[in-house]
Structure 1
């Protein structure tokens, strides 16, 4: 296969791991900086120009590693490849949906995937009512497009919640409020999904003085066994967003597992280290299978 990894950094751990495993399995692999790609549309034809060359016909498969700051342009590049019948490990629409926490939760709620009680509003005049709708403090306050635990706060009192929410509204920043699941004990579960299977999962634990469990914020991890319900939730969530490869985040509560987020570009460093599973190799094997199926359909 000819594989393009769309990434702004060839030395980023996850990008390098995918590159190394794909090369090891005999594939031609290129790391393409999607931010340096230009899209040309003319006379019904399409081009993706990279350093003066049209590369739209070259790959069999693309693996987008699109960060939050590059969502719009990165998704547009992915969309052009998709319209040229190139299989993508993350669909362009899925990338856009996953970067928007509200849109993700709206889809999950409509599809019957359990989520924490969530509220979003842009009305600064009824902040007290908003807090009460979630049962009062403590309450979680999240920036709608925060990543790696950034832009996530715990307001332990109504007074502090009102102050934080009011500040964000005045700064015209988009937020959402969620109930605080005390019994999760600063833990969540990251599940890596490939198609209709779970590759592996790890439990992430926050620092003693931090309710956030994200490893980028200093937390730790360990391999965890999922229940069938948790596996099905993760697979369905990725599928509903149009993400063949995804990182799905769950927490365990008194009323069962709850989905909190879906990531179209899950990092591999923490989960490979803590679970001892070669996630990058498993992703490449999945893509080989998808490419084989797609090619057999084309030949028919």
Structure 2
């Protein structure tokens, strides 16, 4: 398998582990920064340049798209989708999970429990929103963000209003969520790969911090998830359409509540905490995913394959080639 890993930094733990796992199984691996790609739009012939070269042929793409490059990263992933190259995860699934409000809407439509959530946009709506979620303390979140960034707690109605007005003035869209006191600063992270929970841990926030993310200083402990939590994590990943997902859950009075779904979960914390080879499981699933795709669809266009092996082709030359092809088809 010729695997392309999309990552800003090949030395990051998660990226390097995926590369090592793939190469240990005999696969050819390339790591490329999504920002170095040029998306080529051409009727009937989508293509991709990496720098000034047409991208060599690849069999599978594994995106690790950070929140800071979501828009362009999604454009790159979407182009691979259009080119018929299998992607683990695809652009639609990543976009769903990256938008916190959209994710909550999709989850509740499938009757999956989440913290009470309100999307508000004007100061006169704050009181009603707080009444619905049970008052303060309340959690304030930006629509997009990972690793606890963009997640805040407000202890009084006045603090909520002040925080929201500041964020709105900065052009930010926000959501308000109930504070789950019974979670006591703990949450659960489950890694779902191919519809199975392969590793899980409980995270405890450090003293004085309400966010349990390991990047915020939280402590991770290996845990065997109860069946109810495993089912919730698997269902949440399925609703998003994610083949690989990190699902964060809180312990509510009535069972698990889905807190967040990450399409590019970090591997360092979960592997070191659980002792499980998560990277190997992801590569193993990529192999099965690719095999299923090959059975479902015809082989790649040999013309595209030939073009991708032609290494010093400029975007302008590709445009001229496309124009020539159209004239030939029209008899001009």
TM-score (norm 2): 0.87
Q: For structure 2, list consecutive stretches of 5 or more residues without a partner in the other structure.
A: 300-332
Superposed CA RMSD in Å reads: 1.4
Segments ≥4 residues shifted beyond 3 Å:
296-300
Alignment pair present for 1:51 and 2:60: no
Alignment pair present for 1:128 and 2:131: no
CA distance in 2, matches of 1:43, 1:126: 47
What whole-Å deviation, never above 9, does each CA across 1:149-176 have from its counterpart, x for those lacking one? 1221111222222222222223222111
Give the conservation status (yes or no) of the 8 Å contact 2:47–2:83.
Answer: no
Question: 1:299 offset after TM fit, Å?
Answer: 6.7
What whole-Å deviation, never above 9, does each CA across 1:31-71 have from its counterpart, x for those lacking one? 0111110011123211100122222x611111000011111
Name the structure 1 match of 2:31: 31
Question: 1:76 offset after TM fit, Å?
Answer: 1.3
Give the conservation status (yes or no) of the 8 Å contact 2:123–2:161.
Answer: no
CA distance in 2, matches of 1:97, 1:254: 27
Indicate how the Cα distance of structure 1 residues 123 and 46 shifts in structure 2: closer, same or farther if over 3 A, else same: same
Alignment pair present for 1:4 and 2:7: no
Question: 1:99 offset after TM fit, Å?
Answer: 1.2
CA distance in 2, matches of 1:132, 1:249: 25
CA distance in 2, matches of 1:220, 1:295: 42
| Mean CA deviation greater in 253-262 or 231-240 | 231-240
CA distance in 1, matches of 2:53, 2:166: 47
The 5-angstrom pairing of residues 1-300 of structure 1 reads: 1-55=1-55, 58-298=57-297
Q: How many residues align?
A: 299
Secondary structure of the corresponding residue to residue 45 of structure 1:
coil
Give the conservation status (yes or no) of the 8 Å contact 2:98–2:144.
Answer: yes
CA distance in 1, matches of 2:227, 2:113: 15
Question: 1:296 offset after TM fit, Å?
Answer: 3.2
Q: For structure 1, list consecutive stretches of 5 or more residues without a partner in the other structure.
A: none
Give the conservation status (yes or no) of the 8 Å contact 2:38–2:51.
Answer: no
